[in-house]
Amino acid sequence: MSLRLGDIAPDFTADTTQGKINFHEWLGDSWGMLFSHPADFTPVCTTELGKTALLKGDFERRGVKTIAVSVDDLESHNKWIPDIEEVNGVTMNFPIIADEDRKVAELYDMIHPNASAKATVRSVFIIGPDKTIKLMLTYPASTGRNFTELLRVIDSLQLTANHSVATPADWKDGDDAIVVPTISTEDAIKKFPKGVKEVKPYLRYTPQPNK
Ligand code: BEZ
């Protein structure tokens, strides 16, 4: 059965480039980003893994652990890592799962047979500290992901998890947020001391409450 938002992220034990891990134990109380790669020694993946390593500080500031999965074995991953490091001028600083038996790829439905019978698509799962899936994205193998967008969406997920707000189109950290429709404007004025601007009775903005 395919996964849906709110489902518990399936747990697994796997070999990675940083040793054997149990996924839920490895996550601990952190947020997590599990993202798949069609194969080792492929050009787009080489840029994506390097970018993730370069952004380690940005993920850490948000309390997010990153972990990649590719359906190749550990020996292949370990041979590929020097290329990733050289091309991107970075030291690899997060694990890549060796998924040669496709256990993780199948658990997370990362192989879409009409796209490719063997390789995974570019899936992204953002997982909350409660181990539930907060966001899923699927890109084809030919399109590298936008890491500015991944960080932006994590900011929105973390804001909206803790405050009664949603985020509008193209929102980014620091912009005004939208008061959720379940709160009346009268209650919103009490709840959001920085102010509430009513554009429509159902569209109310408030300055970002966690800033
Ligand atoms: C890549 O990972 O670089 C890639 C995979 C399939 C098609 C095109 C690029």
Atom 5 of ligand 1 has which residue's CA nearest to it? 141
| Closest to 52 in 3D by CA, of 135, 154, 175 | 154
Mean pLDDT for the stretch of residues 122-148: 97
How many A from CA of 98 to the centre of ligand 1? 18
Q: State how beta strands 133-139 and 165-166 pair.
A: unpaired
Mean pLDDT for the stretch of residues 133-152: 97
State the catalytic residues.
45
Please give the number of the atom of ligand 1 that sits closest to the Cα of 116: 6
- What value does the mean pLDDT of the chain take? 97
How many A from CA of 110 to the centre of ligand 1? 15
pLDDT in tens, 71-125: 999 999 999 999 999 999 999 999 999 999 999 999 999 999 999 998 999 999 9
How many A from CA of 108 to the centre of ligand 1? 20
Task: Reply yes or no on whether the pLDDT at 1 is more than 70.
Answer: no
115 C-beta closer than 6 A to ligand 1: no
201 CB-contact burial (10 Å; exposed 0-12 / middle 13-18 / buried 19+): exposed
Mutation choice for ligand 1 from 44, 45, 49, 143, CB with most ligand atoms inside 8 A: 44
| Closest to 9 in 3D by CA, of 165, 128, 172 | 128
44 C-beta closer than 6 A to ligand 1: yes
Mean pLDDT for the stretch of residues 130-143: 97
142 C-beta closer than 6 A to ligand 1: yes
- The CA distance from 160 to 178, in Å, is 10
121 C-beta closer than 6 A to ligand 1: no
49 C-beta closer than 6 A to ligand 1: no
The SS3 of residue 83 is helix
How many A from CA of 80 to the centre of ligand 1? 15
pLDDT of residue 118: 87
Mean pLDDT for the stretch of residues 194-199: 97
> What's the CA dihedral at 84, 87, 88, 91 to 10 degrees?
50
pLDDT in tens, 6-49: 999 999 999 999 999 999 999 999 999 999 999 999 999 999 99
